[in-house]
């Protein structure tokens, strides 16, 4: 997707320094860590993205789904919060993500 992940990381870290509530930047850092195979950091950044934008169903979904690799028990429990967020959104994307949790 990107040609230079080190530069992507550098600029994205600067973005979250300027605005820690920039959920898309946290998600981008998660993507960089996913490419590197660092699931712990990927999960941490997805959590920050979900916290930064609690009403965005996509961030809730990706964070909940990241728990599947980390802790299956916690992953199952996270569906409740994720479903609530997705149900409130009532958008096509939220409905599609909700269907993937079933």
CATH number of the domain within which 90 lies: 1.25.40.10
94: left (phi over 0), alpha (psi -120 to 50) or beta: alpha
Residue 96 scores a pLDDT above 70: no
Q: Which domain holds residue 87?
A: 5-101
pLDDT tier, 38 (very low <50, low <70, confident <90, very high otherwise):
very high
CA pair distance 37, 89, nearest whole angstrom: 31
Report the share of the chain in percent with pLDDT over 70: 69
Give me the mean pLDDT over the 40-56 stretch.
92
Residue 102 scores a pLDDT above 60: no
CA pair distance 86, 42, nearest whole angstrom: 22
Determine which of 4-8, 27-31, 34-38, 67-71 has the lowest per-residue pLDDT on average.
67-71
Domains: count for the chain: 1
- In angstroms, what CA-CA distances link 66 with 43, 44, 48, 70? 6, 9, 12, 7
The reported pLDDT for the residue numbered 76 is 67
């Amino acid at each position: 997707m990107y040609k230079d992940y080190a530069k992507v990381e550098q600029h994205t870290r600067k973005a979250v320094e300027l605005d820690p509530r920039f959920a898309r930047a946290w998600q981008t850092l998660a993507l960089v860590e996913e490419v590197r195979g660092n699931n712990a950091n990927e999960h941490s950044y997805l959590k920050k993205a979900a916290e930064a934008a609690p009403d965005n169903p996509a961030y809730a979904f990706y964070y909940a789904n990241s728990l599947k690799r980390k802790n299956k028990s916690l992953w199952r429990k996270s569906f409740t919060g994720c479903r609530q967020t997705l149900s409130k959104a009532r958008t096509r994307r939220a409905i599609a993500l909700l269907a993937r949790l079933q």
